[in-house]
Structure formats: structure tokens, C-alpha cells
Amino acid sequence: SSGINADTGIQRDVKINPEDTKNNALTTSYWFERSVKSSEIHTIYLQLSKSRLTTLVVLTAVAGFAFNPVSGTLTSLAALSAGTFLCSAAANTCNQVMEAPFDARWTAANRE
């Protein structure tokens, strides 16, 4: 059954109908839910937003800010860093959600 458990949180995963993988189609994918502990939510958000990639994007933006010929303030640096982090994390999260059905088709052998 579908629904959000407010007490424990939910991590959603995707499963694909095995018949669809034979036909190379994604018509009957479905989500399933599993409970997670509140202590795991921080880790899940870091994985979902691809935190290492997001950090590299922020560092690239900060480097561009540092090479700016016009001096900037600490406030503008903080705003640039926070905004870049949020935009990159949101884009990575959307990518994770949109590609989940395609990633679910891959077997462990294909990932190596």
C-alpha cells in the first residue's frame, strides 16, 4: 500500500516487471516503500543529492568567485555557495528520481 509514514520516514525504491526488461520496455514499473530510521534520513538525503558531486560544483562556483576582478563580500560568497548547493542538490535529486526506472533495469553484472 502507498502512503507516507510520518513517524519513521519512507525510502522509495523502484522495481521493474521482469517481463518488461525482456522487451526493453518500462511500462509497468512501480515504487515500493520501506521504513527508515530517523537517524538514517540525513544519510539518505546526502546520497539522493549526490553530495560529493554537489560539493565539487560548489567549489567550482567559489573558484569562479575568487577569480572575479571585482571584490565580493563574504555575504555574497555565502549566498553563492548556498544557492549553488541547493540548485545542484535539487538537480541531482531530480536526476535520481527520473532515472530510477532505467537504473532498476541494470543487473549487478552490468554495473561493474
C-alpha gyration radius of the chain = 19
Query: What is the predicted pLDDT for the residue at 89?
Result: 94
Query: What is the predicted pLDDT for the residue at 54?
Result: 94
Query: What is the predicted pLDDT for the residue at 86?
Result: 95
Query: What is the predicted pLDDT for the residue at 5?
Result: 44
Q: Which three cell numbers stand for residue 68?
A: 572575479
Query: What is the predicted pLDDT for the residue at 2?
Result: 40
Where is 12: in which H helix or E strand? Answer: strand 10-15
Average pLDDT per run of 10 along the chain, which is 112 residues long? 45 54 52 74 85 94 90 91 96 85 64 54
Residue burial 86-97, b: 16+ Cβ < 10 Å; e: rest: eebbeebeeeee
Give residues with Cβ within 8 angstroms of 84, minimum separation 6.
57, 58, 61
Query: What is the predicted pLDDT for the residue at 75?
Result: 94
35: nearest Cα among 7, 77, 75, 73: 7
Scanning the chain, the segments in alpha helix (DSSP H) are 18-22, 41-48, 51-66, 74-104, 108-111
Query: What is the predicted pLDDT for the residue at 88?
Result: 95
Separation of alpha carbons 19 and 35, rounded Å: 28
